Amino acid sequence: MRTPSLRALRVAAPTPLQGATPTARQSRFRGVSRSAVALAAAFLLPVAALLLPVAAQAQPADLIVTNAKVATLDAASTVAQALAVRDGKIVAVGTAAQVRAFEGAGTRSVDAGGRTLIPGLIDSHMHAVRAALSYSTEVNWIDAGTIAEAMARVRAAAARARPGGWLIVAGGWTEQQFAERRRPTMAELQEAAPDNPVYVQLFYEAVVMTPKALEALGVPAGSLPAGMKAPPEGTDGGPGWMAGDIVGISALFDKLPKPTYDDNLAGTRAFFSELNRLGVTGLVDPGGFSIAPSQYAALFELWRQKALTVRVAYSIFAQKPGTELEEFRDLTQMLPMGFGDDMLRFNGLGERLTIGMYNNNFPNDATREKFYELIKWAAARKMTVTIHWLENSSVDHLLGLYERLNREVPITSLRWSIAHLDDASPETLARMKALGMGWTMQDAMYFQGDRALKTRGEAARRMPPIGTALRAGVNLGAGTDAHRVASYNPFVAIRWMLDGKTVSGQPTRGPDETPTREQALRLYTAGSAWFSFDEAKRGTLEVGKLADFAVLDQDVFTVPLERIGKTVSLMTVVGGKVVYTAAPFGAAPH
């Protein structure tokens, strides 16, 4: 990252008198001659110019951070040493001496100890609301390095659970992360939790359930749950593993016991705190399977309590096959695009709009027309749309409909986007750019790259085409697609963006498709902010922008690539409020 000379200090404009509207301020001069006003102005303006610094200092900062490497990620790649925050926004970025001018009796002053400070990370595609609901009750295998470690987590969860309580691993792992390079067996799960029903999900392709789990769901011995089938011969994991697709596995998951509302609240607090630990201050949530409108209640409750520690822009995912348009009409009657505030905002429709177009590489005419009717309705209401699409070979079905719509109802200003599409071609990216579309790119290849190398060969070395998209000028945001198919750790995703290595250590993506460290961070900050119309408010550390940032435990610009994935935040700030701390910064205020 280049380090240019520090820009001149930038400070916020003086705050107007409290409660004084422009009309009220003007009323003070009624009855005074214009010549008198002009004479007064001629005298007072020079004096006011001299007093401006004093006026600014009369309003001390709430928080200042000094002795930091402040990577502002502004247009000039400015690196500063300190920043000041007041009323949730940045009021100064500069040297320590300059920023200390904003220190007052009530200012919290933090010495960063020379550590790197970055804008808060924003995940452009995370199923966080759903993940949070059960975070306090699920077993998490993210970052477990061996099957023994995974089983130890199951064993610990069994010890905490009520008698006969379910133990659920809902995803976020792959056999490639384990030193053994295999799935756990039924016998290992039963040994770890002999008295509990256990459910383990691998992406949206495989599930294993212990006999107690099958019995609890009323599945007869020797049978498989509806929607599941026997795995192909020779499948890793041995007896007990079942195969399925995203629809079948989601339907099976819906039959599992649901966490209580109190679990939902506790899980949302805990999961968002975990994201804060990793420097995440915002996300764009595309809805998902297995989450009904009523299950947003915990999120809304924390928002009402002003207790959210992550900014959430959420979209609505179609849950009712065949009546999707009616569903959207019903849910959005009093929910206009952009409704909400800077902490929680409605961000349109997706990532499933109609079940007929979802994961369908060969939609027929009737399916396409039903989809077109829905997107035309959304465009007429200026709604943002994000769509799940996997294969470049079939994306013409989608883009053709968008191009047709754009001729009838312009969509170029609506910031529609495609999620996934790891094999996007230059031609596809050009069509997306012409439509004003963005691309939310995730680190799916971190977990699934080994398989892609076997099935795609050399083509996998440009998946996903990050460099091509950047050169084409497509708006691009980074993310994870967590938590059922990936880890939610942004630094694991950033490391993968930079070295292209899978979880097993296999290199994939070539240098032409590999960003620099600064580019990767930009994709995870300002790049992702674009998808919720927030790039003018957050994503960089500049005066007037929301004070969202993280002080890291190591310098992501200089540490060896293999260490980036271990990065954590030591202090995370959202809207000027410290929401997470670790040593040496003490406990975060509540």
Q: Residues 564, 556: contact at Cβ < 8 Å?
A: yes
Cis status of the peptide bond prior to 149, with omega within 30 of 0: no
The pLDDT, as a whole number, for residue 581 is 97
Q: Is the pLDDT of residue 406 over 80?
A: yes
pLDDT at 239: 85
Give the model's confidence band at 44: pLDDT under 50 very low, under 70 low, under 90 confident, else very high.
very low
Domain positions in the chain are 10-114, 138-253, 261-580
| 590 band by pLDDT with thresholds 50, 70 and 90 | very low
Secondary structure of residue 583 in the 3-state scheme = coil
Please report the sign of the dihedral spanned by the C-alpha atoms of residue 252, residue 256, residue 260, residue 265: negative
| Beta-bridge mates of residue 469 | none
Phi and psi at residue 561, in whole multiples of 5°? -55, -40
Q: For 32, which DSSP code?
A: S
Does the domain formed by 261-580 have CATH 3.30.360.10?
no
**Of 504 and 340, which is predicted with more confidence?**
340
68 and 115 in contact (C-beta within 8 Å)?
A: yes
In whole angstroms, give the CA distance from residue 481 to residue 419: 9
Coil vs helix vs strand at 79: strand
Pick the CATH number of 10-114 from 1.20.1070.10, 3.40.50.150, 1.10.287.130, 2.30.40.10: 2.30.40.10
User: Is the separation of the CB atoms in 181 and 174 below 8 Å?
Assistant: no
Which residue type occupies 366? A
Residue found by looking up tokens 């300002």 in the block: 526
Q: What angle do CA 405, 424, 399 make, to 5 degrees?
A: 10
Can you tell me whether residue 284 is helix, strand or coil? Answer: strand
Residue ranges with strand state E in 261-303: 280-285
- Mean pLDDT taken over the chain: 89
Q: What is the pLDDT of residues 496-529, one digit of tens each?
A: 999 999 988 999 988 999 999 999 999 999 999 9
Q: Name which of 307, 338, 262, 352 is nearest 533 in CA terms.
A: 338
pLDDT (average), residues 417-445 = 97
* pLDDT tens, residue by residue, 101-150: 999 999 999 999 999 999 999 999 999 999 999 898 899 998 899 999 99
* Poorest-pLDDT segment among 4-18, 191-205, 573-587: 4-18
Closest CA to 238 of 175, 170, 323, 159: 175
Q: Does the pLDDT value for residue 35 go beyond 50? A: no
Element (H, E) at 15: none
- Rounded distance, CA 386 to CA 316, Å? 10
Q: pLDDT category, 411, cuts 50, 70, 90?
A: very high
Share of the chain above pLDDT 90, in %: 77
HEC string of 171-220 equals CCCCHHHCCCCCCCCHHHHHHHCCCCCEEEEECCCEEEECHHHHHHCCCC
123-133 pLDDT, tens digit each: 999 999 999 99
The pLDDT score that the predictor gives to residue 18 is 33
Which residue would you say has higher pLDDT here, 238 or 215? Answer: 215
Alpha-helix residue ranges (DSSP H) falling in 115-173: 128-133, 147-160
Lowest mean pLDDT among 56-65, 70-79, 251-260: 56-65
Q: Which residues are bridge partners to 243 per DSSP?
A: 206, 229
**Per-residue burial over 103-123, b = 16 or more CB atoms within 10 Å of its CB, e = otherwise:** beeebeebebeebbbbbbbbb
CB 95 within 8 A of CB 6: yes
- Length of the chain equals 590
Q: Find where tokens 């899978």 sit.
A: 502
Q: Is 161 exposed, middle or buried (0-12, 13-18, 19+ CB in 10 A)?
A: middle
What letter would DSSP give residue 31? T
Q: Are strands 82-86 and 206-209 parallel, antiparallel or unpaired?
A: unpaired
